[in-house]
Amino acid sequence: EAQVTQNPRYLITVTGKKLTVTCSQNMNHEYMSWYRQDPGLGLRQIYYSMNVEVTDKGDVPEGYKVSRKEKRNFPLILESPSPNQTSLYFCASSPTPGTGVNEQYFGPGTRLTVT
């Protein structure tokens, strides 16, 4: 089954404790992206990656890091989480750049709470 998977689905942590949220897709997509979703603010892009070893900042990158060492994986790293990073996070992937197909497939979400 074609899908985007995220782990963990739920995470409660404390301020300053490094964490990683994993994202994996099995559709051989080149493009991957991370979003956060907050009430009243909608979906905002954190980082995206056009291909392996290519990453770029989205609209709200502060406090986050990403890496793209393999095509299928795009982990989101919070080196020192803070309470304002409490949110619902979504990973998404999209087919080959240049084809004009921009539909993004979303994972199930990770609900993060930082106390």
Partner 1 sequence: GESVGLHLPTLSVQEGDNSIINCAYSNSASDYFIWYKQESGKGPQFIIDIRSNMDKRQGQRVTVLLNKTVKHLSLQIAATQPGDSAVYFCAENPPKGYSTLTFGKGTMLLVSP
Return the closest-CA partner of residue 90 out of 2, 14, 20, 21: 21
Among 103, 11, 92, 12, smallest CA distance to 45 is for 92
Site for partner 1 in 39-98 (CB under 8 A): 39-45, 48, 50, 56, 58, 88, 90, 92, 94, 97-98
Which residue's CB is nearer to partner 1, number 80 or number 101?
A: 101
Binding site for partner 1 (CB under 8 A): 4, 31, 33, 35, 37, 39-45, 48, 50, 56, 58, 88, 90, 92, 94, 97-98, 100, 102-109, 111
